[in-house]
């Protein structure tokens, strides 16, 4: 039979085991409650996420419907291409505009078949409609969206507006020219009536004849300037080498600058291979116009400088500068307007003709600060590229920085 001490030990072991069991049960109960709490929290988060996702899907569906309706009603044609360039989808406007467009057709072949380019760069459909075409990548997905808009009516309105503006300008110019011609013409008629008198002395007759000739020359100059402005003096555009142009300009200016006691400096830093596409006579006339204008508007001994240099590989820069009073700020915006002049006997077309010639040569003319203290005009003209001008004009002249200075005895 077991002793009492042995029973006591066994009872103690049972109590310890029961205590451990109670502790483990409590831990399991706590863990289960925590697990239930986490499950409830996860269920709530899942429900919220599901609700948000359903809302997002509903919003995306509404957006897709709006975009679909927009594509259906918009007047512009929309064509969707896949990564291989095949038509994947298009809207009703594309069906109406592009007769024969089909899904799974190769867009490049269809484009070549129905589109052509006009001389002015507009894209033209087979039926004569003018179209603008723009495209956008579907990145990061392959493919692109092409948008086509019919601008036929817009172009017609623009052309009509341009015609109206030209007619309006022509009427304004005709009125201005009539006003400019009326004064010298009245004087010429008066001098003519005096010449018909039989009691005139030889000296008076000579005086009236000289005045009549001066008035008629003034009228002729106005008409000549008007015609030059209206035509732009473009004429035949051919490759023009700058070196021969400078030589001719020097010869043309020499009598004028000597007669006006002008100190003139012609600087050519272009090198020997610059060629532009243009009309040599028109360019020379424009430069002569600037020089004549500078001399006519100066009350002090005139200093003139014409400098030619390459502003870049594609542009030629010509600066005509003087030491006169310059151009007031308040008239700089009007200086190139037809018939605008500050001279009582000027036609007001000189600088307008110069600008017209420069624009006809695809260049631009601006007023810049003058190193001589007066006015300075900068003309930028595109340098002729080989693919545009063909064979370049050879130039074997020996060039220096300062090409010509007048008077010759001045350094």
Instruction: Note the pLDDT tens digit of each residue in 47-82.
Output: 888 888 888 888 877 877 776 766 676 778 889 899
pLDDT for 212 equals 83
Alpha carbon separation from 339 to 90, 221, 352 (Å, rounded): 55, 13, 8
Cα–Cα distance measured from residue 230 to residue 305, given in angstroms and rounded to the nearest whole number? 29
Which of 150, 182, 212 finishes a domain? Answer: 150
Q: Which domain holds residue 20?
A: 1-68
In a domain, 411, yes or no: no
**Does 227 fall in a domain?**
yes
CATH number at residue 87: 3.30.450
- Could you tell me if 192 and 293 lie in one domain? no
Residues 242 and 114 reside in one and the same domain = no
Q: Are residues 373 and 285 in the same domain?
A: yes
Residue 323 in tokens? 């030491």
Average pLDDT value for the chain: 78
Q: Looking at the 3D structure of the chain, how many domains does it have? A: 4
Q: How confident is the model at residue 378 (pLDDT cuts 50, 70, 90)?
A: very high
Nearest-CA neighbor of 407 among 237, 238, 257, 305?
257
How far apart (Å, rounded) are the C-alpha atoms in residues 119 and 124? 10
CATH number, domain with residue 284: 3.30.565.10
Residues 171 and 185 placed together within one structural domain of the fold: yes
> Is residue 373 domain-shared with residue 264, that is, in the same domain?
yes
Contact call for residues 22 and 30 (beta carbons, < 8 A): no
Q: Which residue has the higher pLDDT, 187 or 344?
A: 187
Tell whether the model's pLDDT for residue 316 goes beyond 70. yes
Task: Determine, yes or no, domain membership for 8.
Answer: yes
Q: Say whether both 263 and 329 belong to one domain.
A: yes
To 10 degrees, what angle do helices 350-360 and 202-231 make?
30
One domain, residues 15 and 58: yes
Q: What is the b/e burial string over 255-279, where b = at least 16 CB atoms within 10 angstroms of the residue's CB?
A: eebeebebbbbbbbebeeebbbbbb
**CA dihedral for 118, 124, 125, 128, sign (positive or negative):** negative
Select from 231, 247, 282 the last residue of a domain: 231
Residues 265 and 398 in one domain: yes
Beta-carbon contacts of residue 279 (< 8 Å; ≥ 6 apart): 233, 234, 235, 236, 237, 238, 240, 357, 360, 361
Query: Which of 33, 50, 68 represents a domain boundary (last residue)?
Result: 68
Q: Clarify whether residues 338 and 283 are in a common domain.
A: yes
Tally of CB atoms within 10 A around 158: 11
- Please give the Cα distance from 354 to 365 (Å, whole number): 9
Q: What CATH number corresponds to the domain at position 205?
A: 1.10.287.130
- 248 — pLDDT class (breaks 50, 70, 90): confident
> What is the model's pLDDT at position 402?
45
Residues 29, 92 within the same domain: no
- Tell me the C-alpha distance between 350 and 204, whole Å: 34
Q: Report if residue 139 sits inside a domain.
A: yes
pLDDT digits (tens, 9 = 90+) for 105-130: 898 888 888 888 876 667 888 888 88
Q: Model-level pTM?
A: 0.49
Residues 215, 259 within the same domain: no
Residue 57 covered by a domain: yes
Task: Print the SS3 string covering the chain.
Answer: CCCHHHHHHHHHHHHHHHHHHHHHHHHHHHHHHHHHHHHHHHHHHHHHHHHHHHHHHHHHHHHHHHHHHHHHHCCCEEEEECCCCEEEEECHHHHHHCCCCCCCCEHHHHHHHHEEECCCCCEEECCCCEEEEEEEECCCCCCEEEEEEECHHHHHHHHHHHHHHHHHHHHHHHHHHHHHHHHHHHHHHHHHHHHCCCCCCHHHHHHHHHHHHHHHHHHHHHHHHHHHHHHCCCCCCEEEEHHHHHHHHHHHHHHHHHHCCCEEEEEECCCCCCEEEECHHHHHHHHHHHHHHHHHCCCCCCEEEEEEEECCCCEEEEEEEECCCCCCHHHCCCCCCCCCCCCCCCCCCHHHHHHHHHHHCCCEEEECCCCCCCCEEEEEEEECCHHHHCCCCCCCCCCCCEEEEECCCCC
- Verify that 304 and 176 share a domain, yes or no: no
Residue 155 is assigned to a structural domain of this protein = no
Lowest mean pLDDT among 138-142, 220-224, 277-281, 381-385: 220-224
């Amino acid at each position: 039979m077991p002793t009492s001490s042995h029973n006591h030990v066994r009872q103690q072991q049972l109590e310890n085991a029961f205590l451990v069991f109670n502790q483990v049960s409590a831990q399991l109960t706590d863990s289960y409650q925590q697990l239930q709490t986490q499950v409830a929290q996860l269920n709530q988060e899942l429900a919220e996420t599901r609700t948000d996702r359903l809302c997002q899907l509903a919003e995306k569906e509404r957006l897709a419907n709006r975009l679909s309706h927009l594509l259906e009603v918009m007047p512009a044609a929309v064509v969707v291409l896949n990564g291989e360039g095949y038509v994947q989808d298009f809207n009703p406007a594309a069906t109406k505009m592009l007769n024969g467009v089909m899904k799974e057709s190769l867009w490049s072949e269809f484009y070549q078949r129905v589109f052509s380019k006009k001389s002015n760069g507009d894209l033209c459909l087979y039926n004569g409609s003018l179209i603008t075409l723009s495209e956008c990548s579907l990145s990061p997905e392959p493919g692109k969206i092409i948008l086509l808009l019919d601008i036929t009516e817009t172009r017609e309105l623009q052309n009509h507006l341009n015609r109206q503006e030209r007619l309006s300008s022509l009427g304004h110019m005709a009125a201005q020219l009539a006003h400019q011609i009326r004064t010298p013409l009245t004087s010429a008629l008066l001098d003519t009536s005096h010449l018909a008198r039989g009691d005139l002395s030889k000296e008076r007759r000579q005086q009236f004849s000289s005045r009549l000739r001066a008035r008629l020359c003034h009228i002729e100059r106005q008409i000549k300037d008007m015609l030059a402005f209206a035509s732009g003096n473009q004429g035949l555009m051919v490759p023009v080498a700058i070196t021969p142009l400078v030589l001719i300009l020097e010869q043309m200016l020499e009598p004028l600058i000597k007669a006006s006691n002008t100190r003139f400096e012609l600087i050519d830093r272009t090198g020997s291979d610059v060629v532009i596409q243009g009309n040599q006579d028109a360019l020379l006339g424009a430069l002569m116009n600037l020089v004549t204008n500078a001399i006519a508007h100066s009350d002090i001994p005139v200093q003139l400088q014409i400098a030619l240099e390459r502003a870049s590989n594609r542009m030629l820069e010509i600066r005509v500068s003087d030491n006169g009073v310059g151009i007031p700020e308040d008239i700089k915006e009007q200086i190139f307007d037809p018939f605008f002049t500050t001279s009582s006997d000027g036609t007001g077309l000189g600088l307008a003709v110069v600008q017209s010639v420069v624009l006809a040569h695809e260049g631009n003319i601006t007023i810049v600060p003058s190193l001589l203290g007066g006015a300075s005009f900068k003309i930028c003209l595109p340098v002729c590229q080989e693919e545009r001008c063909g064979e370049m004009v050879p130039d074997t002249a020996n060039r220096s920085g300062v090409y010509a200075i007048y008077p010759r005895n001045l350094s």
